[in-house]
Amino acid sequence: MNHCQFLTYGLLKIFLKEVINQQLDETNKLLCSYHMKTVVFWVIQQNAVPLWCPQNLLAGFWVCFKLLLKWVYEGVCPNFFIPQNNLFLSKVHGSAQRSLFQQLHGLYEKGLVCLLQSPSIRSSITDVLYNPRLFICTDNDRIMSECDIDVELFKEVFRNDSVTTKTLDLCTPLNTMGRMIGSSLTQFQVVMVQKLAATILQSTAFTLHNMYTNTGLNKQMYIADRMSCNMLKLAAKFGCISHMAYTAMYHYKMSRYREALSVIELTKVKLAQPGLMYMKNVNPERHIDTTLAQTALEELQALVHYDQGLYVNYMCRDISWEILGICQQMTGNLQAALHSFQHSLTQFQWNGIQNATQMRIRDLHIT
């Protein structure tokens, strides 16, 4: 360490002793000076501070504090010399971890002013923090919002969530999940394991159904049916809301149409919740006001009609016209809906929805 890096470590130790460890009894023994030293080592290793000098002391402290906040959120503090060793493993987990994160995040939201809570530091930095001519770069704009984190998490889950083998013995995601269960997992890893479990259960349920269909063995078919239903229920519990659609499809294949419709209605209710994520897009709100709904429909109609590939590429045009038609049908404009469904059939059928579109057209003629 150079002189400035050592000062940063000292500043973190004082902040830990006089601020962090003085707020909550539940968290006052979770962090120690070795954690602070580890943070400084990793910040130096990552070149996160361009220039270590006394003028950048507060900026360097803030970079270290943000890394500490990130580690507490994830529940992982990698040992600098043996990165596989998690220094948080014995204490920072469960409710204690959540309390510590909330405490640190509250300090983070105050910015560098949180240093004024330390009696030893306050007298030295008050004039600096309140100097209107002084600017300290804290790079707060580089902190990702929760929404952006969710999008990136979804991308990672989507990339790794696939079952391409018919034999579970060779199923890589299943083997991966088996290794992860029982170990100390971060919040992100828990989500990944749950999604893998849902995908494996859903795939296994239909594989089991296909194995015993038309075998003539009624008892085995009944047992397989019960097992498949239970697997799909678990998949819907652990996975995305859309996993419920697989349960509906399974009931439909088994000619249990009333159960299928019941699951679909429940799925529609869950999909109506605000703040849902569709693929990699977050839906921040749901317009249920009539005026806003009409405005949204008009904007959608203009987009689908006049877009030249800027927002709706050719692979999405069939389903875009389909969605427009469904919206028009819901508002009672059946003629416009028919026009949109017919346009959907003329587009490149990337999404393979032509049968559904033709069925909707027939339903329009019936009504």
21 Cβ neighbours under 8 A, 6+ residues apart: 27, 28, 29, 31
What was the pLDDT predicted at 357? Answer: 92
* pLDDT over 70 (residue 165): no
Across 17-31, 102-116, 141-155, 235-249, least confident range: 141-155
Closest CA to 114 of 192, 207, 25, 16: 16
Summarize pLDDT for 110-122 with one digit per residue, the tens.
888 898 899 988 8
Write the pLDDT tens digit of every residue in 355-365.
Answer: 999 999 988 87
Q: Taking Cα atoms as reference points, which of 191, 199, 190 lies closest to residue 172?
A: 199
**CA 321/CA 317 separation, integer angstroms:** 6
At 346, is the pLDDT very low, low, confident or very high (cuts 50, 70, 90)?
very high
Whether the pLDDT of residue 225 is over 70: the answer is: yes
- Residue type present at position 3: H
Mean pLDDT of the 17-37 span: 89
Residue ranges in the chain assigned as alpha helix (H)? 3-18, 33-45, 57-74, 94-110, 119-129, 146-160, 172-180, 187-212, 218-238, 244-253, 257-271, 290-306, 317-330, 334-346, 354-366
pLDDT tens, position by position, 331-342: 888 899 999 999
Q: Which of 111, 46, 112 is nearest to 78 (CA)?
A: 46
Model confidence band, residue 107 (pLDDT cutoffs 50, 70, 90): very high
Mean pLDDT, residues 229-248: 89
- Specify the amino acid at residue 98: R
Name the residue with higher pLDDT: 272 or 239. 239
Say yes or no to pLDDT of 55 above 90: no
Judge whether residue 134 has pLDDT over 80: no
Instruction: Tell me whether residue 123 is exposed, middle or buried, using C-beta atoms within 10 angstroms of its C-beta: 0 to 12, 13 to 18, 19 or more.
Output: exposed
Could you tell me the domains of the chain? 3-143 (1.10.1410.40), 147-271 (no CATH), 287-366 (1.25.40.10)
The distance of Cα 353 from the centroid of its chain, to the nearest Å, equals: 28
> Residue 78 pairs with which residues in a beta bridge?
86
Entry pTM: 0.46
Task: Specify the amino acid at residue 279.
Answer: M
Contact of 221 with 235, CB cutoff 8 Å: no
